[in-house]
Copies of this chain bind each other. A is one copy, B any other.
């Protein structure tokens, strides 16, 4: 049988198996190799909600999806072309993600009687046969047997040998997608530097998987995906949470400000605290507080002391911080509040994604308590956005709410390393200590500059002793004031100060399309990839649709209103019940349409494209 070599523009593969099967590692190795081959790509891990659900059950299935291509890739893909399943439960949980006619690579050893029953298949069901009957191409490999065969000479115990099953499968896939093995081989050598016999075994399994695929001719086609036209530069793969960690370290370096993170663990934000806790030598101090209120309280205290105070959490934790965020709006100190959103309400679906804390970010406080709001659109984007959030907080003495979500927090994509020298400077508004001179003017802690920003007077500075608090303060002096007119004035000033940030952010640009026309799609946050794909596909089909994706949400870019008014229709896709669309409708009185889903998952490109077509037609 001869093997056809096929060129592909893009491919999506989904690896799935039991939590113990090393799926995430397999996925990330495939990702590295793919990246090194010059493809553009996007990935998403799909962990089980339980720490360790019973082996073999659907609840225990761990997944990893990678979408790569020779063209620009924006999402991990709605559906996959190839589904790799290590057991029956993995098939059960994931078949719905496979495109009609797609390829299933199944470890037949995971489809025994016990596996089927653990996966809750009926006793008489034959899922592999059923899949074939439904038109899928099923490649059956007894991975366990083949791996044991491959490694029988190593003398390793069976348990250890079985742990190399994933490398055997990876070898098969590397053959199928015409990939070199060397990057993974190097990785294995590094990883098991102290256990060379394990490294060797894994490498052998990988090689043997590759050879197995050639020798057994289980595939009739083999694929190759050319390099994508990617901007020049040095890249690495990064998750959203890691990008935030790196950005904060960068801020500490560039601003010369000590950074203080007060946080309390919560899914899916914990990795930020975890990552920063190892960066003490970058001038970052982390404090794991007793709860979210103490976390933000400590950050506020640190900001008063001259650090940049940051706090990280997810929706329910942010709710707990509401009162303290209100305090920060009164104190007018720098503060960054990172909300890695998850599916709500309440505990909701903590490991799933949603964008439903936008209105909370805007309005979730007592009284008129304006904060700035900014959002990240992808894992890599988290770097720049976090940097921006810190810059705004410091330069405008204001709490900044940074919104990401579970999807970009855990998802990874290639990130072009920034040039450190080109990162914007960050310029704190420190008040100078008073000397002994006669001409020192009295210190006025709430005297504002042209941008309505008050000075940052840090303890230790002679002559700047002052007291601040949550009671309304008199303009300029900062003393307590119950005066009605003063309250009106201060309320307006705090709001105005937030609005003036608009002068220090870039104008909104277009991601796709012309600056006027039939339909404008407006996105924010993690839906970027899905919208970008849907719009570009629609444009390829000739539809008159444009796309802007908002990073700065409060204040909006100054040119936003003009952009919106240049289109007949505006569509706002969101993973919530239409929150940004509410804000835009209120602000601009435009008949904005909302496309929304709350399924704990990213928007699918297909559905969204349909909606776009419909609106362009209508």
Residues of A at under 8 Å CB distance from B?
49, 293, 314-316, 318-320, 322-323, 326-327, 329-330, 341, 343-352, 354, 356-357, 359-360, 362-369, 469-472, 482, 484-485, 487-488, 491, 494-495, 576-577, 582-583, 585-586, 589-591, 597-601
Are B346 and A482 interface neighbours, CB within 8 A?
A: no
Are B347 and A470 interface neighbours, CB within 8 A?
A: yes
Are B360 and A346 interface neighbours, CB within 8 A?
A: no
Q: Across chains A and B, which 4 residue pairs bring their CB atoms closest together, nearest first?
A: A344-B367, A315-B366, A345-B367, A346-B470
Point out the residue from B49, B319, B346, B599 that lies within 8 Å of A487, measured CB to CB.
Answer: B599
Give chain B nearest CB distance to A33 CB in angstroms.
Answer: 31
Known contacts A366-B316, A472-B348, A586-B585; is-contact A485 B591 (Cβ 8 Å) = no
- What residues of B have a CB within 8 angstroms of the CB of A349 in the complex? 471-472, 482, 487
Point out the residue from B320, B469, B576, B601 that lies within 8 Å of A323, measured CB to CB.
Answer: B320
Give chain B nearest CB distance to A415 CB in angstroms.
Answer: 29
- What residues of B have a CB within 8 angstroms of the CB of A471 in the complex? 346-350
Are A367 and B352 interface neighbours, CB within 8 A?
A: no
Are B369 and A363 interface neighbours, CB within 8 A?
A: no
Task: Select the residue from A293, A319, A366 with max chain B CB neighbours within 10 A.
Answer: A366
- What residues of B have a CB within 8 angstroms of the CB of A368 in the complex? 344-345, 356, 576-577, 598
Q: How many copies does the complex hold?
A: 2
CA distance A484 to B349 in the complex (A): 10
CA distance A457 to B316 in the complex (A): 27
- What residues of B have a CB within 8 angstroms of the CB of A482 in the complex? 49, 349, 351-352, 600
Task: Select the residue from A354, A487, A582, A600 with max chain B CB neighbours within 10 A.
Answer: A487
Would you mind naming 27 contact pairs between A and B with Cβ atoms under 8 Å apart? A319-B322, A319-B326, A319-B364, A319-B366, A326-B344, A327-B347, A343-B367, A344-B368, A344-B369, A345-B365, A346-B367, A346-B470, A347-B470, A348-B471, A349-B482, A349-B487, A352-B484, A356-B367, A357-B367, A360-B363, A363-B364, A368-B577, A368-B598, A484-B599, A484-B601, A487-B599, A487-B600
- What residues of B have a CB within 8 angstroms of the CB of A469 in the complex? 347
CA distance A478 to B348 in the complex (A): 13
CA distance A356 to B492 in the complex (A): 13
Point out the residue from B350, B470, B495, B589 that lies within 8 Å of A577, measured CB to CB.
Answer: B495
- What residues of B have a CB within 8 angstroms of the CB of A360 in the complex? 322, 363-366
- What residues of B have a CB within 8 angstroms of the CB of A488 in the complex? 597-599
Known contacts A366-B316, A366-B319, A470-B348; is-contact A485 B599 (Cβ 8 Å) = yes
Are B318 and A366 interface neighbours, CB within 8 A?
A: yes
- What residues of B have a CB within 8 angstroms of the CB of A494 in the complex? 345
Are B365 and A364 interface neighbours, CB within 8 A?
A: yes
Give chain B nearest CB distance to A498 CB in angstroms.
Answer: 12
- What residues of B have a CB within 8 angstroms of the CB of A49 in the complex? 482
- What residues of B have a CB within 8 angstroms of the CB of A363 in the complex? 359-360, 362-364
Give chain B nearest CB distance to A57 CB in angstroms.
Answer: 13
Give the nearest-CB partner of A491 in chain B.
B598
Give chain B nearest CB distance to A482 CB in angstroms.
Answer: 6
Point out the residue from B343, B487, B585 that lies within 8 Å of A585, measured CB to CB.
Answer: B585
